[in-house]
Amino acid sequence: MNISLVLQMAADTFPDRIALTHNGVHYSYGRLYASAQAAAARIVESGAAYVSYLGESSPATVVALFGAAMAGKPFAPLNYRLTVPETNRLIERLFPVFLITDLDKAASVPDGAARVLMTGPEFLAATASEEPGEWDAPQDEEGVAVQLFTSGTTGEPKAALLRHQNLLGYVLGTIDFASAEEDEATLVSVPPYHIAGISAILSSIYAMRRIVQLPQFTPAEWLKQCCDQSVTNAFVVPTMLTRIIAHIDETNEQPNLQALRALAFGGGKMPLPVVERALTLFPEVAFANAYGLTETSSTIALLGPEDHREAHNHPDPLVARRLDSVGKPLPTVEVEIRGEDGSVLGPNELGEVFVRGPQVSGEYQGRKLTDDDGWFPTRDSGFIDDHGFLFLAGRIDDVIVRGGENISPGEVEKVLRSHDGVEDVAVVGVPSVEWGETLAAAVVLKPAVTVTEQELQDLVRKQLRSSRVPEHIRFVDALPYNEMGKLLRRNVKAIFAD
Amino acid sequence: MQLKAGTKLHSSVCDTDVMVIKGSGDVALTCGGAEMVTARTGAPGQIDPGFASGTAMGKRYQTDDGSVELLCIKPGKGTLAVNGVALEIKAAKALPSSD
């Protein structure tokens, strides 16, 4: 198997259809396929072991991804927001590398690490070719297609390996080939070093839905592209949707989103008020909430459009709360909730989410985390309700152990967030002589609101119990998130270090 | 012939190419009435008129019991069959796009 099949089929079927739009320039499927072939030849000739891309989304990302696949080399995109020393440590792990980058960082790439170093435009010019020829992509079953470095919030970044069979398993199992209408276009605003950026390329090309690249997300630019490019589909991470809605509310302009049919979000917990506001603001749009991990080649569970609309303002609280769930597992994967002793738990019982299926890699360089039966422990805690909806309760590694009692930050955060004056909140465990660990809450208040620590502590005591009451509360201006909207809990803990 | 997930197979009587999605072991897989091959050699043979309704690009074909599933990666004029029984197009699951 080889992921280049995705582009090959699209190019065979409708070579002249537009596959990609970047800065107003269009690229057809045939042109991208021909370029990927030319790129593969270059990569093989270079003798590089990896192909890496350090930069924002561009047509070169797509050509490099498929070119690497056709050359049988892993594609390892890098986060362009890292510092030079961090970047260099990763590049050394890709030696010898075929590196494509537009950034100044290229000048500081360690000597000898790169076999080939060129900018995106140079790479596109060097591989420009109109007529695809014949190219036999390696069909190595175990071949690694994509290697993604984790954000490394707890140490050196780990290299997650996604094999051709994992990514193709996801694409072939969830998308019908060429199922998009010719007028459909998807706005891709996630960066290429994120799993959502990779799956957006593969899924859109297989569905033959035109990709519109938005390399630098801002709410205004996102809305402009939606309008100018008649965007029909989009995927955003929670912070993006939060910012889009805030922008619409602030400018008080009704955006022109007439073409927009479907909006998917994922990559983190979407705050319930944001979803509810979005459902009201865009009544005609089909919403999908996707849950997935890098190690599972993207989406494994999905809350679809009908579920969103049904749950919105539903009188039955058990139906209404589905807006806070990640929906049901895809038909192509199995999901189980397991207890600490490894036993499989029943409905509504909280435990660790395990997943199995062709798309699940569960593998880092040098370490495979799946068990003998193929089950991958996600390290997410959650439960499945009586109707099969999966609810997540946070990362298991974030659980606070206070006096021997396990406390999930999520349950306390939810109560604090329900306070009218609270804009955002993060609860972490901090060292305590008495309890081993105790709860601390960093709270962002809404503008011009006064709330006392006592008030918040009373709220938690009333709704939960005394062991859940944060001993320490700090009011802060903002919480530390990374660029993808992931809360950096380690940095929250640092707030309480003094 | 021996099937294995990921294997590409070609029709020996038309343009059809398929990739094996599911299926293993020795299976009598034909296209247009003739056994499929891993590499085309020589001139194409004659299509059996009883197996000439064609294959469609990107469609999945499966046996009744779902034990064999193929993805058409290049269409042609022949009909896919296992043990002489024509394969059916697998109904689309129609998931909402999530990326």
Residue type, B85: V
CA A45 and chain centroid, separation = 33
Shortest CB distance from B71 goes to which of A172, A186, A196? A172
The residues, any chain, with a CB within 8 Å of residue B90's CB and separated by 6 or more, are B59, B60, B61, B62, B69
CB contact under 8 A, B94 and A176: yes
Q: How confident is the model at residue A154 (pLDDT cuts 50, 70, 90)?
A: low
Q: Which residue of B has its CA nearest to A14?
A: B57
The verdict on B19 touching A (C-beta cutoff 8 Å) is yes
CA A67 and chain centroid, separation = 23
Assess whether pLDDT exceeds 90 at residue A382: yes
Percent of chain A with pLDDT over 70: 98
What does DSSP assign to residue B57?
T
Domains in chain A: ranges and CATH: 4-307 (3.40.50.12780), 308-396 (2.30.38.10), 399-495 (3.30.300.30)
Tell me the average pLDDT across A226-248.
94
What average pLDDT is seen over chain A? 93
Query: What pLDDT is attached to residue A153?
Result: 61
Query: What pLDDT is attached to residue B96?
Result: 85
Assess whether pLDDT exceeds 80 at residue A131: no
The Cα–Cα gap between A474 and A310 comes to: 38
Tell me which of A5, A177, A186 to substitute to probe the interface with B (most B C-beta atoms closer than 10 Å).
Answer: A177
The Cα–Cα gap between A304 and A329 comes to: 11
Beta bridge pairs of residue B88: B62
Tell me the average pLDDT across B10-24.
94
The verdict on B74 touching A (C-beta cutoff 8 Å) is yes
Q: Provide, for chain A, the percentages of residues in helix, strand and coil under a 3-state DSSP scheme, each rounded to the nearest 5.
A: 35, 25, 40
How confident is the model over A263-275, as pLDDT tens digits? Answer: 999 988 888 888 9
Query: What pLDDT is attached to residue A47?
Result: 94
The verdict on B71 touching A (C-beta cutoff 8 Å) is yes
Instruction: Write the DSSP string, B19-52.
Output: EEEE--EE--EEETTEE-BSS--SS--PPPGGG-
Low-confidence winner among A131-145, A302-316, B30-44 (lowest mean pLDDT): A131-145
The verdict on A1 touching B (C-beta cutoff 8 Å) is yes
Strand A210-213 with B34-35, pairing: unpaired
Tell me the average pLDDT across A215-219.
95
User: Biggest alpha carbon distance in chain B?
Assistant: 45
Tell me the average pLDDT across B27-42.
93
Tell me which of A176, A186, A205 to substitute to probe the interface with B (most B C-beta atoms closer than 10 Å).
Answer: A176
Report yes or no: A210 and A168 within 8 Å, Cβ to Cβ: no
Tell me the average pLDDT across A213-227.
96
The verdict on B86 touching A (C-beta cutoff 8 Å) is no
Q: Which residue has the higher pLDDT, A108 or A7?
A: A7
Taking only residues 319 to 348 of chain A, the set having a beta carbon closer than 8 angstroms to any beta carbon of chain B reads 330-331
Report yes or no: B29 and B85 within 8 Å, Cβ to Cβ: no
How confident is the model over A332-372, as pLDDT tens digits? Answer: 999 999 999 999 999 999 999 999 999 999 999 999 999 99
Assess whether pLDDT exceeds 90 at residue A405: no
Query: What pLDDT is attached to residue A106?
Result: 67
Q: Residue ranges of the alpha helices (H) in A211-339?
A: 219-228, 238-251, 272-281, 305-311, 317-320
Assess whether pLDDT exceeds 90 at residue A136: no
The ipTM value here is 0.91
How confident is the model over A83-109, as pLDDT tens digits? Answer: 888 888 999 999 999 999 987 766 677
Surface-to-core class of residue A300, CB atoms within 10 Å of its CB (0-12 exposed, 13-18 middle, 19+ buried): buried
User: Biggest alpha carbon distance in chain A?
Assistant: 72
Low-confidence winner among A61-70, A73-82, A133-142 (lowest mean pLDDT): A133-142
Which residue in A168, A160, A189, A212 sits closest to A56, CA to CA? A189
**Other Cβ atoms closer than 10 A to A216:** 9
Q: How confident is the model at residue A408 (pLDDT cuts 50, 70, 90)?
A: confident
The verdict on B91 touching A (C-beta cutoff 8 Å) is no
Assess whether pLDDT exceeds 90 at residue A252: no
The verdict on B21 touching A (C-beta cutoff 8 Å) is yes
